[in-house]
Amino acid sequence: MRFGELADDPVILHTRVAESLRTTPAELAATLGLGPNAFASGSRTRRRETQARLRQLVEMLKRVEPAVSSPLVSYAWFRSEPLPGFGGATPGQLLQEGRAGHVHAYLDRIMDGGYA
């Protein structure tokens, strides 16, 4: 599954994201900085904060995927690539800190041919 398809959904289903990334819902919740019960029920999955984090993740991966040609490689980038100018923080750490906008600005610069 490509992330563009997930990003178009009004409600992002954590099960589809986890399946696409070959991970568990519990690991996905931890990656997003959400509590272990974030996906325990449909109402929790639809909470504003949960949906915002899922959407931010999917949007980042969607933007990176064409450059790396694989959904799993884009997820590896999200979890492990330290970004210059952010003290070695990864996109995942920045998302957990509520700084997803900084990652999007970084990606804008890179996509426009700028420097990291």
The whole-number pLDDT of residue 1 equals 57
The whole-number pLDDT of residue 56 equals 94
**Residue 55 to residues 1, 16, 88, 94, 109, Cα–Cα distance (Å):** 15, 12, 23, 14, 21
Give the pTM.
0.86
pLDDT tens figures, 27-70: 999 999 999 888 988 788 889 999 999 999 999 999 998 888 88
Pairwise CA distance, residues 75 & 34, whole Å: 17
Domain count, the chain: 1
Q: What is the dihedral of CA 87, 93, 94, 96, to 10 degrees?
A: -150
Classify residue 35: in a domain, yes or no.
yes
Percent of all residues in the chain with a pLDDT value above 70, rounded to a whole number: 96
Contacts made by residues 13-17, CB under 8 angstroms, sequence distance 24+? 13/45, 14/38, 14/39, 14/45, 14/50, 14/54, 15/39, 17/54, 17/57, 17/58
Whether the per-residue pLDDT at 17 is higher than 60: the answer is yes
What average pLDDT does this structure show over 98-114?
Answer: 87
Pairwise CA distance, residues 44 & 46, whole Å: 5
Classify residue 116: in a domain, yes or no.
no
The whole-number pLDDT of residue 3 equals 73
Find the range with the poorest average confidence among 4-13, 64-73, 75-84: 4-13
Classify residue 63: in a domain, yes or no.
yes
Classify residue 15: in a domain, yes or no.
yes
| Higher local confidence (pLDDT), 22 or 9 | 22
The whole-number pLDDT of residue 99 equals 94
Domain that holds residue 13: 3-111
Classify residue 43: in a domain, yes or no.
yes
Whether the per-residue pLDDT at 82 is higher than 80: the answer is yes
Classify residue 61: in a domain, yes or no.
yes
Which phi and psi (to 5°) does residue 111 adopt? -65, -30
